[in-house]
Structure 1
């Protein structure tokens, strides 16, 4: 049976060291012709929701999603050099991805609040993009509600691989309670990693099946993620 792994990006695969918030602020400034007074709040939300909240909190008219997405893409490209300089791959991640890639029946993709262009930039900044079938993923431009993304990624993977993906063979790996909730509502198992701002206790309270401190114990992480 094929197995689908859906990875979050920020604070799960990589640490962006504040560059994500800089992208939102830069995109806002491009659209509003002013710096934001109220900073972006992320907390595992999608790009659509983060930017909409920024417009509301700063009392700026929403210019519409097409313009907002274009501004986010431009800001992401502009800040890629800074991301490469200050960001990094989290402990154990590259080795875990390499080991999983050797499993013939395992498909790896992403479910992330980032728009697809910026998710790709972030992964490519650290040579991680080739581990994933990005066409089977779901992104912050697809829906404002993160809960929709797991269901959408499963549907895309089913079309691409002519397989059925349900709670038995789909796993989300993420670092926030929103990742946990999205997996549970989207019909997937969740492996939470406490590599973001939320603690192991908070992730368990959100309903995570399994919580790892990080992926530095590669053998244990593989066993947990692959359900073995």
Structure 2
């Protein structure tokens, strides 16, 4: 397939949208913080929903009573990335319902390019995708966390890639799919529409309050995603509730 065939783009969040790791990342994070700081914490209650890996590292280090500098945070992130593949094997995570069918369908139809827009670092995202058999589903990559700054710079990187792949891409043909209010707010900052999924930890009311254009219970079929992205009538069966 050549890039010139693409007519629109979907920017996908990863955790809670495409897959769940059953919180395996906390195992790797705890070990990384212990190695770097010599202190250990129980991260069972650590709130990570919608945060980037850089933000999670910051909160994790603060939880052991340290106000970190940039060099310490980098060491924690690198330690986390190194341990993550092994930690993923310790939990029963997996791909969420409808995801593989939707991604495969979009690839087969060839009109929409799928890109990641995730708070994971590139190595972290790759470890998760490979663990759950999705290593080949995002050949064009996307936007990843590479330091502090929240989701805005990640989103801009993902959008630039979409603009390179889709000739004369209109912002009206870009859709962001995520499961947290932060994903929805990120879409608003980009000026694109968002589909909020209740497959994570947030309710439809929370996602709508954040400004979601649509709210679904799960990732819908490829035909529906294509129609939502391109603004065309939906000729596929919608297997999700739309709010």
Give the TM-score of the pair, scaled to structure 1. Answer: 0.87
Partner SS, residue 42 of structure 1: coil
Which has the greater radius of gyration?
2
SS at 1:196 equivalent: coil
How far is 1:96 from its partner?
Answer: 0.7
Provide the residue aligned with 1:125 in structure 2.
Answer: 131
Deviations 1:157-207 (A, max 9, x none): 334x27444521211110000000011102222111110110011101110
Deviations 1:8-28 (A, max 9, x none): 111100121111333322322
Q: Over aligned residue pairs, what C-alpha RMSD do you find?
A: 2.3
Matching residue of 2:116: 110
- In the alignment, which residue of structure 1 is the partner of 2:235? none
Worse-superposed segment, 31-40 or 178-187: 31-40
Structure 2 unaligned segments of length 5 or more: list them.
1-5, 233-243
How many residue pairs match? The answer is 224
Name the counterpart of 2:189: 185
Instruction: State whether residues 101 and 221 of structure 2, in contact with CA within 8 Å, keep that contact through their aligned partners in structure 1.
Output: no
1:129 CA displacement: 2.4
Q: Which consecutive segments of 4 or more residues in structure 1 shift more than 4 A?
A: 216-222
Conserved? CA contact 2:40–2:64, under 8 Å: no
Structure 1 runs not aligned, ≥5 long: none
Matched position secondary structure for 2:22: coil
* Structure-2 change in CA distance of 1:168 and 1:222 (3 Å): closer
Once the two structures are TM-superposed, the CA of residue 220 in structure 1 deviates from its matched residue by: 4.3
Map Cα deviations across residues 138-164 of structure 1 (whole Å, 9 max, x no partner): 1122543112221121123334x2744
Aligned mate of 1:208, from 206, 212, 218 = 212
Aligned with residue 17 of structure 1, among 2, 17, 22:
22
What are the Cα deviations for residues 96-131 of structure 1, in whole angstroms up to 9, with x where unaligned? 111101132321110111111110111111221212
Match of 1:173 in 2: 177
SS in 2 for 1:131: coil
Asked if the contact 1:172/1:190 (under 8 Å) is kept, the reply is yes
Q: Displacement of 1:58 after TM fit? A: 2.0
Tell me the residue number matched to 1:41. 47
How big is the shift at 1:74? 0.9
C-alpha displacement at 1:221, in angstroms? 5.0
- Report what 1:199 is aligned to: 203
